[in-house]
């Protein structure tokens, strides 16, 4: 299957993310440590939102997420209020479900359409589905790192 290794990386990153946060309370997930502008909850939501934007929207598909969720976790946003248990559960379910969805969607002929070129703030240009998936994986790993650092502070 095309993108088999990329799916393995995404799955590992998402499973590691769930593992890192599994012992944290919702209060810890929502804590914004002094000197920080974000919390673990925001990073989780941002991972979900950005994956759909980079891989799906930049390749002529709908994000599949509510506009409110997209706006809450888009680039340059920050947490405005704590998330509740329901939003936490939705977000963590999406972390794992998105892997399965992408794997299934990649097997459909012509599911993804024409790429919409995009210049990231990482100074990396995205001009194909392959570049979008690879960059999304880099982005996922970056935010897993933030989550790991925040966990050390809030625990």
Structural domains in the chain (count) = 1
Place of tokens 């994986």: 137
Per DSSP, 22 falls in state: T
| Measured distance between the N- and C-terminal CA atoms of the chain, rounded to whole angstroms | 40
pLDDT exceeds cutoff 90 at 1: no
Task: Over range 81-96, report the average pLDDT.
Answer: 98
The CATH number of residue 139's host domain is 1.20.120.450
> pLDDT of 14-66, one tens digit each?
999 999 999 999 999 999 999 999 999 999 999 999 999 999 999 999 999 99
C-alpha to C-alpha distance for 86 and 106, rounded to whole angstroms: 29
Residues of the domain holding 30: 4-154
SS3 content of the chain, % helix, strand, coil (to 5): 65, 5, 35
Query: Sorting pLDDT into bands at 50, 70 and 90, what band is 4?
Result: very high
- What is the pLDDT, as a whole number, of residue 2? 84
- What is the pLDDT, as a whole number, of residue 115? 96
CB 137 within 8 A of CB 9: yes
**CA dist 27 to 30, 43, 73, 82, 84, Å?**
5, 15, 19, 8, 9
């Amino acid at each position: 299957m095309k993108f088999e290794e990329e799916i393995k990386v995404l799955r590992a990153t998402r499973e590691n993310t769930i593992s890192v946060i599994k012992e944290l309370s919702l209060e810890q997930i929502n804590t914004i440590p002094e000197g920080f502008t974000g919390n673990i909850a925001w990073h989780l939501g941002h991972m979900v939102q950005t994956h759909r934007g980079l891989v799906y929207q930049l390749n002529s598909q709908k994000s599949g997420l509510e506009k409110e969720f997209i706006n809450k976790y888009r680039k340059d946003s920050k947490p405005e209020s704590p998330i509740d248990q329901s939003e936490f559960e939705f977000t963590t379910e999406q972390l794992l479900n998105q892997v399965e969805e992408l794997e299934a969607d990649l097997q459909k002929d012509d599911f993804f359409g024409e790429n919409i070129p995009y210049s990231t703030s990482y100074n990396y240009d995205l001009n194909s589905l392959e570049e979008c998936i690879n960059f999304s994986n880099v982005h996922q790993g970056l935010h897993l790192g933030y989550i790991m650092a925040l966990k050390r502070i809030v625990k």
